[in-house]
Copies of this chain bind each other. A is one copy, B any other.
Amino acid sequence: MTKKDKILLMATRMFAGKGFADTSTAELAGITGVAESTIFYHFKNKEELFLEVLRKVREEIVQHFEEHEQSQGFESGLDKVEGLLGYYLYLAGAMEDAFLLLHRHYPYMLAQDNEVCRENLEAVYNCMADIFQRAIEEGQRDGSIADIPARKTALILFTMVDGLVRFKTYNLYDAGTLFKEMVASARKILVHAH
């Protein structure tokens, strides 16, 4: 692993763990095991380093979700949506730093006047919302999901599972216990009234 990759790896961890402002280049260099000036040899400043971190985070998350969408074994669209909820929670645990980074405020502040940042954030959120939406529409075609607004419902389901990840982050409530109830709630939102 090159020193540049090591810096990116540890920067992801630090930006996620303590935020952009509280991440000092001196400490990052110390943890990574390089000279502080090596950081500025590979990245022209701290903000560009952050953008590179964000780009990798986007790549990885989008790739994982698209791979999961291609995987088979779902009986229906409803089944697929429930699988997505579980996969989101799993991925947020497996890629803790990536999701924690996206839960921070800095990227959204930066996105206000940095196009690259905005593009990366939009890409990752559109990807996730689209996949939820497509699963819902698939369920509407196979009859497992009622005729509800697909995009809006996708976003509502997203807020639910993303909120659960936040509970997990702050240890506010046992996420595993709440997950079962969340899936049950999602099912009620999706299925036909009868």
Contact = CB atoms under 8 A, between A and B. Distances in A.
Interface of A: 18-19, 21-22, 103-106, 108-109, 125, 149, 152-153, 155-156, 158-160, 162-164, 166-167, 169-170, 172-173, 177-178, 181-182, 185, 188-189, 193-194
A163 B103 CA distance: 11
Contacts of A193: 188, 194
Contacts of A18: 109
A140 to B, nearest CB: 15
A interface secondary structure, majority: helix
A185 B160 CA distance: 11
Contact of A185 (B108, B169, B189): B189
A194 B192 CA distance: 11
B149 A181 contact: yes
B173 A185 contact: no
Contact of A188 (B21, B106, B166, B189): B189
A88 to B, nearest CB: 13
Contacts of A164: 159
B159 A163 contact: yes
